Amino acid sequence: MASLTPRRRRATDWTNALFVLPYLIVFVAMIVVPLAWGMWLSTTKSDLFGTEGFVGLTNFVRLFGDPIFLQTVWNTFYFVLLTVPLLAVLGLALALVLNRQARWAAVLRTIFFASTVLSVTVVTLVWRLVFLPDSGLLSVVTRALGGTPIAFLNDETLAMPAIAITTIWWCIGLPMVLFLAALQQVPRALYEAAALDNASRWRTLTRITLPAIRRTFALVIIIEVILQFQLFGQPQLMTLGGPNNATRPIVLFIYETGWRQWELGYASAAAQVLFAMILIAAMVQYWLSSRREAR
């Protein structure tokens, strides 16, 4: 009898895994296998129609000697630095102000979310029209104010910030909604206690609200880091990576080498580097937030 118990327990454990099995099958088929395939490709000379041969780490060596690739790495980091902190902070600010049940708040929530529903094609088209120095919205306004219109997208230093603004306009809905969901779960009693303690708005924010939504904050940062590292459509459609490569991100590099130059092996190597970068960035962020939590 006694031996029955452990055997039965192990059987149950395996049936428990049935809950995760359907997802794991898709995960393996659509992520693990393709990723392994990509890793293998990155060690070959291939195009989309076949593999010419194994080349070892040649592709990686070539990558790190390729000034264009190195610039795309820097561009990508620069873009992430421009957008992620702003998305998180603005998203939180919006959520804080709009976290109430008044009708105006609901309307504003919808407005701030509306741009998220547009596809990248439309977003970039609109913002190209906004940034155009000749007849764009900004230039019309600048001229009306007596200034000289600036060619944002044609300026090496301003093009990336312009893309960042476009991206923030487009993506602000996601962090806002995530923060709203988190704020609505902060127990009301905490605010009541703070009010009784005569805490100022600022103190309530920093001592009550922020600690309560700390995990969401970390979540938003990780999600946005992952998303923004994969910048692609905006520069592809707004600047083609220019001027002078100032806005060419890694994914655009991967796309151009893989699909346009047919150098699949080389593109795969760049994709592996991007994967490693995202992984490291996400882990650093995770480590930072969990360390803060532990303290």
CB of 127 to other proteins, least distance (A): 7
**Contacting residue, 80, 91, 234, 258, with other proteins by CB under 8 A:** 258
Interacting residues with other proteins between 178 and 217 (CB under 8 A): 178, 181, 184-185, 188, 191-192, 195, 201, 204, 215
Q: Judge whether 216 and 208 are in contact, CB under 8 Å.
A: no
Q: Count of alpha carbons within 13 Å of 201, Cβ hemisphere only?
A: 2
DSSP letter (8 states) at residue 258: I
**71 vs 62: CA distance, rounded Å:** 14
Window contacting other proteins (CB under 8 A); options: 77-85, 232-240, 287-295: 232-240
CB of 75 to other proteins, least distance (A): 14
Closest to other proteins by CB, 88 or 263: 263
Q: Render the burial of 226-241: b for 16+ CB within 10 Å, e for the rest.
A: bbbbebebbbbbbbeb
Closest to other proteins by CB, 81 or 280: 280
45 phi, psi to nearest 5 deg = -105, 110
Length of the chain: 295
Closest to other proteins by CB, 119 or 206: 119
Q: Which two tokens stand for residue 160?
A: 């990336």
Q: Number of residues in contact with other proteins, rule: CB under 8 A?
A: 124
**Contacting residue, 70, 81, 279, 288, with other proteins by CB under 8 A:** 279
**205 vs 207: CA distance, rounded Å:** 6
Q: Which two tokens stand for residue 20?
A: 């995760």
Q: Judge whether 228 and 80 are in contact, CB under 8 Å.
A: yes
Interacting residues with other proteins between 108 and 167 (CB under 8 A): 108-122, 125-130, 132-135, 137, 140, 151, 153-154, 156
CB of 71 to other proteins, least distance (A): 11
Q: Does 221 bind other proteins (CB under 8 A)?
A: no
Instruction: With H, G, I as helix, E, B as strand and everything else as coil, classify residue 167.
Output: helix
CA–CA–CA angle 146, 238, 243 (5° rounding) = 80
**213 vs 209: CA distance, rounded Å:** 6
Interacting residues with other proteins between 62 and 81 (CB under 8 A): 66, 68
Q: Does 285 bind other proteins (CB under 8 A)?
A: no
CB of 19 to other proteins, least distance (A): 3
50 phi, psi to nearest 5 deg = 160, 170
Closest to other proteins by CB, 110 or 206: 110
Interacting residues with other proteins between 4 and 43 (CB under 8 A): 4-5, 8-9, 13-14, 16-20, 22-24, 26-27, 29-35, 37-38, 41
CB of 295 to other proteins, least distance (A): 21
Interacting residues with other proteins between 82 and 101 (CB under 8 A): 94, 97-101
